[in-house]
Amino acid sequence: MKDNVKQMASAEKDFATHEHFSQLAETLIGSEIVKLGGEIREKIRQGEKIYNFTIGDFNPEIFPIPQDLEDEIVNAYRRHFTNYPAAEGNVDLREALSQFLENKEGLKYSSREILVASGGRPLIYAFFRTIADKGDKVIYAVPSWNNNHYTHFVEGVHCEVEARVENNFMPTAEDIKPHIHDAVILALCSPQNPTGTTFTKGALEAICDMVLEENKRRGAAEKKLYVLYDQMYWQLTHGNVRHYDPVSLRPQMKAYTVYIDAISKCFAATGVRVGWAMGPEAVLGKMKAILSHVGAWAPMAEQKAVAAYLGQHENINNYLQHFKAELSFRLQKIYEGFLRLKSEGLPVDAIAPQAAIYLTVSITARGLRTDKGSVLEQQKDVTAYLLNEAGIALVPFYAFGASKNSGWYRLSVGACKKEEIDAMIETLAQALRKLK
């Protein structure tokens, strides 16, 4: 019996070492954020104090979803809305979205030009699958969220545009132009994840004009260049910052633009899973066909709840006013803290907060020596030092495709307790003062 068990174990081990999977599975890059998250969870489990600014999510004890939305969800389940929804999204939700988008953003899309799914991710995946074939060129900025992985899914040609600090890490028409010939997707995001920065009116107009000119140049038999416009954070702008979108600036862009949006960020509802795309009906029809086989629809009860909630304009405005004030306070206070450290001569910097839940910060400590004598040779060493010495967890821009030695980081305030900000800034200062 023991010999049989040993033989089975040996056979399983031998099989595991010779297993082969699809090229996609073998070559898909693991998430740096997930890896960092595992390290953070282990430190917390061991009782360490960690200031966790890595998650692009919300602590629901600090930022709960709107009470009115929660009530609508509970009510929908009590009314037994638990069966399959329509593949393209329930018509009442799509009609509510059509009205909401026109009222709030001035965008006119009929219910036939709106596709609902379980958040933005499956819609982005379906868009890439609809537009791009193997070998097609996809343009996206770095740093940016997940465009490299979606391009890998479709075996597209990666046309990376490295955005620069002087443009607040937003790509420009000048950056994009060298890649535009024969490209089929231009992936844009504003407000941008991970930077929390936005397009200016002029910068986005220049990009739109370039796309329109390129599509005019192409013959009838050629694929057109489509813009994927991820505006998940558009309702979370701060101060005097204004959100701009392609179709509002250039109505002709409606034929070439697919928007991605959701309740995930604007209502702190990342786990409720209701997202939507707006765009040309023909494109959305193909996306719908793809998603019908994936089954990535938003749950029936949540769809009913969101449809009912979107008509509560006063409640929504009240929620957003409070929500944005709380986010702005945290972002501004941390920004001012970084500027104080910079004025002391410490190797930090930051970009003034514009939107979303993110602050772009810089910690340029590469090459410095710790008080224990080790040199922070690479940026990943700086990241590890911040976590181990100061208990501060940030996501480096190299996790979003930027240069491995970029000193810039995404700082998320979705789980930030405002009473801990001063202590965090001082802890960071103490850690940096130890470097020589």
* Model confidence pLDDT, tens digit, residues 250-286: 999 999 999 999 999 999 999 999 999 999 999 999 9
pTM: 0.92
Record the tokens describing residue 270, joined without a space.
Answer: 């990342």
Query: Given the DSSP bridges, would you call strands 395-396 and 408-412 parallel, antiparallel or unpaired?
Result: antiparallel
Distance of CA 143 to the CA centre of its chain: 11
Tell me which architecture the domain covering 67-311 has in CATH.
3-Layer(aba) Sandwich (3.40)
* Nearest to 322, CA basis, from 76, 92, 12, 63: 63
Classify strands 358-363 and 348-350 as parallel, antiparallel or unpaired.
antiparallel
Higher pLDDT, 428 or 27: 428
Which amino acid is present at 173?
A
Q: Both tokens of residue 74? A: 């509970």
Residues of the chain above pLDDT 90, percent: 86
Q: Indicate whether 325 pLDDT > 70.
A: yes
User: Does residue 33 carry a pLDDT above 90?
Assistant: no
1 pLDDT band (50/70/90 cuts)? very low
> Would you state the pLDDT for residue 5?
44
Q: What is the pLDDT of residues 122-157, one digit of tens each?
A: 999 999 999 999 999 999 999 999 999 999 999 999
Strands 275-278 and 114-117: antiparallel
The lowest-confidence range among 22-31, 230-239, 252-261, 356-365 is 22-31
pLDDT digits (tens, 9 = 90+) for 361-391: 999 999 999 998 899 999 999 999 999 999 9
| pLDDT one-digit tens code per residue, 301-313 | 999 999 999 999 9
Supply the angle between the helices 313-343 and 421-433 in degrees, to the nearest 10: 30
Put residue 105 in one of left, alpha, beta given phi > 0 → left and psi -120 to 50 → alpha.
alpha
Q: What pLDDT is stored for residue 220 in this prediction?
A: 87
The pLDDT mean for the chain works out to 93
Architecture of domain 27-56+317-433: Alpha-Beta Complex (3.90)
Query: What is the C-alpha radius of gyration for the chain, rounded to an integer number of angstroms?
Result: 23
16 pLDDT above the threshold of 60: no
The CA-based dihedral angle spanning residues 387, 393, 398, 400, taken in that order and rounded to the nearest 10 degrees = 160
Percent of the chain with pLDDT over 70: 95
Query: What is the pLDDT at residue 14?
Result: 52
Instruction: Determine contact, residues 175/229, Cβ cutoff 8 Å.
Output: no
User: Angle 127-112-124 (CA atoms, 0-180°, nearest 5)?
Assistant: 15
**Best CA proximity match to 207, nearest among 147, 256, 162, 154:** 256
> Mind listing the pLDDT tens digit for each residue in 310-324?
999 999 999 999 999
pLDDT tens for residues 152-201? Answer: 999 999 999 999 999 999 999 999 999 999 999 999 999 999 999 999 99
Report residue 218 as tokens: 């192409």
Give the number of other CB atoms < 10 A from CB of residue 10: 10
The domain ranges of the chain are 27-56+317-433, 67-311
How do residues 355-364 score in pLDDT, each as one tens digit?
Answer: 999 999 999 9
Contact by Cβ (8 Å): 106, 346: no
At 359, phi and psi to the nearest 5?
-125, 130
Query: DSSP for 110-161?
Result: -GGGEEEESSHHHHHHHHHHHHPPTT-EEEEEES-SSHHHHHHHTTPEEEEE
Whole-angstrom CA distances from 14 to 2, 9, 11, 123 are 18, 9, 5, 40
CB within 8 Å of 56: residues ≥ 6 apart:
145, 193, 194, 357, 358, 412, 414
